[in-house]
Amino acid sequence: MTRNWSNKLRCATWCVLVLALLAGCKGKAHGPAAQAPAQPEATAGAQLYTCSMHPQIVRDAPGQCPICGMDLVPKANGEAQDAADTAGADLDHLVTSPNGSVVSAIATVRPTSGAASDTLSLPGVVDYDPRRSRAVAARVGGRIERLLVRFNYQPVRKGQTLLELYSPELVTAEQEYIFLLGNDADNTVLVNGARQKLRLLGLSEGQLRALARTRRPDYRVAVFSPYDGYVVENTVAAASLAPPSSAGMPEASAPAGGMGSASAMSPGADAATATAAPSAPTPALTLQEGGYVSTGQTLFQVVNTAQVWGLFQPGPGELGQMRPGQMLQVTVPSDPTHSITARVELVEPTYRAGASTPAVRVSLPNPRGLLRRGTRLTARLSSPTASGWWLPRAAVVDLGTRQVAFVRRGRTFVPVTVLVGQRTAAQVQIRQGLSGTEAVAANGQYLVDSESFLQTSSTPSDATHE
């Protein structure tokens, strides 16, 4: 029984020791921080030092952090701490996504309402008017006895002799006419038929009267120019090579008749010819005296430059404002004080090679021949614009698939997607995306690093401005 009491006493002693140990450990910190000496209490005006990684470590003298070993830094207290807290509050906007806003002090503008005055300036060039080009073709086959046109681009006048041609077919027709006049002059049906045949073969009324008077066949029949202008050998050269100076050239007139009768070119052929790529000049003629020509062969092309075309290239944002019938003020850079008023005849339905928009065509008078093919032109068009909100063109950044404007929100600029309408030389219409009260960066290009930078926010106004 004495042994049992001894065991109970021993167990009770151990339990008291364990409870005393647990009571002594309660409320104590564990780990490396528990080994650090006690932190001194801060006194007013004393400089304290702390660890930038473990702010719970505070010392009254420089040293090292007992946890990470970094050097302690001075700790702000009192007014310095309040100033730091205020500065942190002012920079709260910097914790937002850098793709969502831009910090800048760039000048701002506000959208203006109303209708903006618009004067478009269109660059252009002079081109031939293919409707004023005539082909001189051989009515009969034969040999060239005399060639009076010696080089391409030679100026000629209506009725001027281009060449003299010997044609056995034409001589035979003349002999038949002379025989009828001498042996059966009273048979008006046969005589008139013979005259009509010669007329269709290219003889003029003057040549027919001379033939009836002399009763001798003409073995050299002249081919006349049907037009005032300059001569080239074929249609391609007429549309591709620059015209010569033809000062004092009179207005075009009707064909003169004779073998130089003209045939109008088809509109489709004209357009294709007029836009042919320029080729190297070939002044020498391929036609030579003694050479033969066949029936229907084109001998020359006579191009009249008393009227030419002006072809202007509007930009993609300007094409929608162009309409046939509008009046343009056309100037030549060499003489900007003298302008020509021209009416828009056509906005071409197709794109020319290398162009991003269709060309706009006008007809320009050129009585002195000073407007040569390739001469640079400038046209100005004043047209009314629609009412709505307007911003400077520099304020809207075009990213190809969308347009954005930078709107000030607090201390930052936020890109906002906008829907644009008409464009003028200096302004762009905003149809959707802005309410008109926003402050917008005057030049959005300064705020763009790259297209991938911009992540536009939701638009502040979804109203459409017409």
One-letter amino acid of 2? T
How many Cβ atoms sit within 10 Å of the Cβ of residue 227?
27
Q: What is the side-by-side strand order in the sheet with 298-303?
A: 154-156, 229-232, 298-303, 133-137, 262-264
CB 325 within 8 A of CB 344: yes
**Domains of the chain, earliest start first:** 48-77 (no CATH), 102-117+386-464 (2.40.420.20), 135-301 (no CATH)
Residue 418: alpha-carbon gap to chain centroid: 22
Element (H, E) at 268: helix 267-274
Alpha carbon distance 198, 171 (integer Å): 10
Q: Give the count of beta carbons closer than 10 Å to the beta carbon of residue 337.
A: 5
Residue with tokens 């763009």: 448
Distance (Å, whole) CA 224 – CA 258 = 6
What whole-number distance in Å separates Cα of residue 414 and Cα of residue 435? 15
How does DSSP classify residue 457?
Answer: B
First-to-last alpha carbon distance for the chain, in angstroms, is 110
* Identity of residue 23: A
Cα separation, 259 vs 140, in Å, equals: 9
In angstroms, the CA 200 to CA 261 distance is: 10
**What is the pLDDT, as a whole number, of residue 432?**
84
Place of tokens 């309408």: 421
- Residues near 37 by Cβ (< 8 Å), separated by ≥ 6? none
Regions of the chain short of the pLDDT cut 70: 1-9, 11-12, 16, 18-45, 77-104, 115-118, 234-284, 317, 383-386, 425, 449-466
Name the maximum alpha-carbon separation found in the chain: 184
Q: How far does Cα 100 stand from its chain's mean position? A: 32
* Cα–Cα distance measured from residue 309 to residue 271, given in angstroms and rounded to the nearest whole number: 11
Structure tokens belonging to residue 16:
């008291």
DSSP states of 60-110 as a string?
Answer: SS--B-TTT-PBPEEEP-THHHHHHHHHHHHTGGGGS-TTT-EE----EE-
Rounded to whole angstroms, the Cα distance separating 431 from 414 reads 19
Query: What are the residues facing 262 on neighbouring strands?
Result: 136
Q: What confidence score (pLDDT) does residue 286 get? A: 80
Record the tokens describing residue 125, joined without a space: 């060039």
- The H or E element spanning position 35 is helix 32-35
Q: For residue 200, what are the CA distances in angstroms to 139, 148, 254, 296?
A: 8, 23, 18, 13
Cβ distance 50 to 42 under 8 Å?
A: no
